[in-house]
Amino acid sequence: MITVQRKYKVIKASSVKELSDIVNNSIQKEYKDTEGFIFRSSARWQCLGGPIKDQEYWYQAVVFIQEEEQ
């Protein structure tokens, strides 16, 4: 298996609860990618570090990691 970073995003929310809900929903999604590839892969979102508060908003960086079979 090879681990590949496919994309990332920064989630912005007005409260810790809202941030937690958005992050948890993203992390719990599982994908099967079989369109046009000779291998099967599954992937999910993972957090990078902890949440950050800047003025009135909370931020969390997440990355979409994919493990691929060759």
| Domain positions in the chain | 2-68
**pLDDT tens-digit series, residues 6-57:** 788 899 999 999 999 888 877 766 444 445 444 445 567 788 888 999 999 9
Determine the Cα–Cα distance for residues 42 and 24; give it in Å rounded to an integer: 18
Q: Closest by alpha carbon to 25, among 11, 39, 41?
A: 11
Count other C-beta atoms under 10 Å from residue 58's C-beta: 19
pTM of the complete model: 0.66
Query: Where is pLDDT greater, at 44 or 64?
Result: 64
